[in-house]
Structure 1
Amino acid sequence: MNRKTLALSAVIGLLAPVLAGCGGSDGGSDGGDAIVVGTTDQYIATPEGPAPLDPAFAYDTGSWNVLRQTIQTLMHVPRGGGAPVPEAASRCGFTDRENESYRCTLREGLKFSSGDPLTVEDVKYSIQRVLDIKDPSGVSGLLSNIDTMETNGDSEIVFHLKSPDATFPYKLSTPPAGIISRKSYDPKKLREGFGVDGSGPYTFKAEVKNDTVVKAIFTKNPEYKGDLSLQNNKVELVPFKDADDMGTALDSGDIDVMTRAMTPEQVQGMIDNPKENIQLTEMPGLEIRYLAFNTDAPVAKEKAVRQAMAYTIDRGQLVTKVYGAMAEPLYSPIPSSVATHTNSFFNKYGDANPAKAAQVLEDAGISTPVKLTLDYTTDHYGEATVKEFETLREQLNSSKLFDVTIKGEEWSVFRPNQTKREYAIYGMGWFPDFPDPDTYVGPFFDKDNFLNTPYNNPKLRNQLIPQSRREADRSAASKTFAEIQDIVADEVPVLPLWQGKQYVAARDDIARVEWAVNSSAELQLWELRRGTSAPSD
């Protein structure tokens, strides 16, 4: 049959969820063959990053997508969105009105895939290990608000927090809070290579060549006890160097599903010219792209330069020229589909106003053209990134206010350099850690942040961010988030560019594709099923 384009309108968390429900029956796939999924994510062990799949190190979407299949967390966000629900836990909840003490009770009979029993001491060990290692990747920042952990017997653990945090259940659903086997992970050192041992829905095996994963094999874990229902027995994840090779593999039947990152040309081509036996599914996305600034660097430390760039860049033209229907302009670090979003950057700068940019630079006594280098990663966010930075260079240079050079590096080089603050201005993408506006604020502006940025606004860090986390009713924090966004727009430590949609292409004998990737770009491989129909929920 011809390919159909499906639009899944479910949006998670604060995004007014439309679809919800539990996973289907646990009967496995209709066929015995592994479902093969393609990706352009790369898994490479390097001297700077020798442990790409260690929960104490990994802080990128590709690595998290491996860990989510294999390492269990106490909580997880249900596939239809909304508040987190117990996964390895049987129940969890705050024990006080201030949201400073959080208690979880484990499910009975939990085991690691090795058959070893899993207790709350393993939970405590796993989380303490992340905090003790405190890797420069910034992933430990998600758990840094934990003050102490108290265990009672084999099944109960209480987290005492340093300050109130209504988002803590979400943070317990992320891979750094995953439960790992003490036999396989040193308490103070990262686990090098590609081994992963946990109690999640799948066991994991990597086929490796030249320190690079060429195939990731997920096999149903017979010891798994949790909230997820597996629709298949085996999935193979195959990394491709580029989206064209991945598309060729889908056309030939070498893979069954094509995930991130498809190119805009591929998506538009499949819309305009439907392919026999291939289905394209459109899903909402919470991905954002932005420029970030090392506010200690000679040029980037000048607020007037950052503001002038905000005045000059034309997001609408950038999106139209590079991404088409796959993206839309973004005027805040918080996506427009999140209830607390405000158009703070548009309200202050509009789009493409070089005259005002020139005035800002003149008032600050900055001579033009301002020489800038924009650094970006060539292989992590999709092939269109190169064209995106060529377009940004063209926009900035055509204003005659800037003299821009662009420079691309592979992610294995780019990310270590970025965390070491070797770039003054650089391009980044962000997929949310969890579906709450805090995930677009804390990782950028709080202490121990993902960017390792020197930017520190005391009001943001010491007053507004903690204040936003006190509100159990997240909509009650809207005023606080609005003030945060206005401060960011004024000081421009980051410059939002666009937010994206997601597309997955699959052969039409694969069912439940619409659930295989959520709006946070998290792979949920257990949802895939071979067969044209799936069990009812």
Structure 2
Amino acid sequence: MVIAAVIAVVAVVAIAAVLLSQQAGPAAPRVKDVIIIGTTDSIQTTLDPCEAYDYLGVNIIQNMGEGLFAYEPGTAKLVNALAVSYTISPDRRIWEIKIRTDAKFQDGTPLTAEIVVWSWNRTITLNQDPAFLIADLIEKAEAIGQDTVRVYLKAPFEETYVKSLLATWVAFPVNPKTTPMEVVQPPKTVDMIGPYKLGTWKPGEYIELVANPNYYGEKPKTSRIIIRFYKDAQSLRLAVENGEVDIAFRTLSPADIKDIMEKGKLQVVAGPGIAPIRYMVFNLNKEPFNDKRVRQAIAYLIDREQIVNTVFMGKFAQPLYSMVPIGFLGHKDSFKERYGSKPDIEAARRLLREAGYSEANPLRIELWFTPVRYTPAEPDIAALLKQQLEASGLIKVELKSADWATYRTLFKEEKIACWLLGWYPDFLDSDNYVRPFYHSGANGWLRVNYKNPEVDRLIDEQVLQPTEQRVQTLARIQDIVADDAPIIPLWQEGQFAVAQLNVKGVVLDYSQIFRYYLLYAEVQG
């Protein structure tokens, strides 16, 4: 009887367990511990915020640190980050900014106003490529107690403009305990205040970010991010299609993106096609580009619509006739007004003949491009530009290419005279599309060697003007530089990320910041 009773109880328990398991269904999904991002991009300098001026290096810094202000994800709205509150003097020249008292660096060192001031002074003193972003803004800064920074501005700048610049990575506080004042810091000592900190970094293979336990804010959705480097777009596409990476970001070709969208086995997340721009640069210290007639002739010959329709299939980019993109305050199609929207071969030939060129003595130029960094279609773009320029019958173009590290060195050391580049905004303001390119005090990084005192004056004036007057000044700037043509805008495009279907939190917005801390992927069990 006892044995029978035990058997009966066991049977009842077993049946109940089966029924409960049937009712409960499959196990709830869990969030993966790691997200792997594949890219053909690379880090070109260190991860020191005072020096970094390449997209990927800066983007990693933006996930490891933050400034007094930040862009709210998914918007162009500036919000407080390390700042708690601020006041502005009636003459707009002095700001007093209260900072958080609960923010700590990765080693537990508390943030103080003195550290903020020290970090800014270090950036300005070292004077690396992006230093102008705050060096042109700040006359002096001082700590008032532990939690207040007093900032004396060089001019009565508009409020949003100041916050935009203080939100840039060059204004991020760094830990003085691990950061040398006199030199750029080596990568492994990077210590900022942000959701992630640097893990393992094997250059050319991968870089790992791990959650920062001392971060005061919301913890990252995923505790580890691995950015894996691929040599070309074909390898990157295979990696995302085979599930080797969770996300492919920078850069697949327009044809790849279109094909992946049509197949529907992966998700394609598109950012607004407003801020990234592409352009051609001339070194005005080098012949033949020190002759404005040559630059203008080239401007007459470029067919942007052909590039957009052929390479980008008419849907992933749009022609650009100003360095100020469509959608930004004061944008004006100055190059279209000056040179037309279609090639004017006769106008180009007339200028080239005036400059001394002929069928027997054609203008010979090298056009440089880098084949992977911006798009795998870069060789096709360069070939189209060669075809367009040679249609004049008076120009011979030799195409030259180099990997990004070599390419960057070539134009920095002024060893090339005509090359293609791209630009992602440092902050969301039209000033960031004129000052870094045309102001003689800020365009040194580009080696364009363009100096126009009137343009310098207008650029300095426009950031102080009310909107209506500023639009007029920006229009004048765009008209002048279109005529001078030290740089030729080509097109603007959007950002695209290709991700596995279970990946969430991919936010691509106007700021161009890819926020790793929002990413997560759910898996069963």
TM value normalised by structure 1: 0.86
Q: From 523, 526, 529, give the equivalent of 2:514.
A: 523
2:175 is the counterpart of 1:181: yes
Aligned equivalent of 2:267 = 279
Q: From 197, 204, 223, give the equivalent of 2:198.
A: 204
Aligned equivalent of 2:492 = 499
2:297 is the counterpart of 1:305: no
Residue type matched to 1:39 in 2? T
1:427-471 Cα distance to aligned partner (Å, 9 max, x none): 110001111111101111121323133211111112x11111113
Aligned equivalent of 1:402 = 395
Gap change, CA 1:474 and 1:59, over 3 Å in 2: farther
Aligned equivalent of 2:98 = 105
SS across alignment from 2:119: helix
Aligned equivalent of 2:139 = 147
Q: CA-atom RMSD, angstroms?
A: 2.0
Gap change, CA 1:427 and 1:229, over 3 Å in 2: same
Aligned equivalent of 1:20 = none
CA distance, structure 2, for counterparts of residue 344 and residue 518 of structure 1: 27
SS across alignment from 1:531: strand
Residue type matched to 1:141 in 2? F
Aligned residues of 1:206 and 1:213 also touching (Cα < 8 A): no
Aligned residues of 1:163 and 1:466 also touching (Cα < 8 A): no
Aligned equivalent of 2:184 = 190
CA distance, structure 1, for counterparts of residue 255 and residue 388 of structure 2: 22
Q: From 433, 442, 448, give the equivalent of 1:440.
A: 433
Aligned residues of 1:52 and 1:194 also touching (Cα < 8 A): no
CA shift for structure 1 position 193:
4.0
Aligned equivalent of 2:455 = 460
CA distance, structure 2, for counterparts of residue 332 and residue 374 of structure 1: 21
Gap change, CA 1:380 and 1:194, over 3 Å in 2: farther
Aligned equivalent of 1:23 = none
1:477-498 Cα distance to aligned partner (Å, 9 max, x none): 2111111111111100110011
CA distance, structure 2, for counterparts of residue 223 and residue 257 of structure 1: 27
Aligned residues of 1:518 and 1:524 also touching (Cα < 8 A): no
Name the one with the larger helix percent: 2
**Contiguous gaps of at least 5 residues in structure 1:** 1-28, 45-50, 533-537
Aligned residues of 1:444 and 1:451 also touching (Cα < 8 A): yes
CA shift for structure 1 position 531:
3.3
1:114-142 Cα distance to aligned partner (Å, 9 max, x none): 1111111111111111111112xx21111
CA distance, structure 2, for counterparts of residue 143 and residue 206 of structure 1: 31
CA shift for structure 1 position 101:
2.4
CA shift for structure 1 position 352:
0.9
SS across alignment from 1:103: strand
SS across alignment from 2:446: coil
CA shift for structure 1 position 503:
1.3
CA shift for structure 1 position 195:
4.2
SS across alignment from 1:308: helix
Gap change, CA 1:408 and 1:96, over 3 Å in 2: farther
CA shift for structure 1 position 86:
1.3
Aligned residues of 2:32 and 2:520 also touching (Cα < 8 A): no
Higher mean Cα deviation, 408-417 or 494-503? Answer: 408-417
1:168-217 Cα distance to aligned partner (Å, 9 max, x none): 21111111111111122111111234542111111111331xxx242222
2:151 is the counterpart of 1:159: yes
Higher mean Cα deviation, 259-268 or 228-237? Answer: 228-237
2:230 is the counterpart of 1:255: no
Q: Which has the larger radius of gyration?
A: 2
Aligned residue runs from structure 1 range 483-494, under 5 A:
483-494=476-487
TM value normalised by structure 2: 0.88
**Contiguous gaps of at least 5 residues in structure 2:** 1-28
Number of residue equivalences: 486
Structure 1 runs (4+) deviating above 6 angstroms are: none
Aligned residues of 2:179 and 2:189 also touching (Cα < 8 A): no
CA shift for structure 1 position 248:
1.3
Residue type matched to 2:268 in 1? L
CA distance, structure 1, for counterparts of residue 219 and residue 289 of structure 2: 49
CA shift for structure 1 position 288:
0.5
CA distance, structure 1, for counterparts of residue 418 and residue 148 of structure 2: 46
1:128-170 Cα distance to aligned partner (Å, 9 max, x none): 11111112xx211111222111110111112212223332211
SS across alignment from 1:372: strand
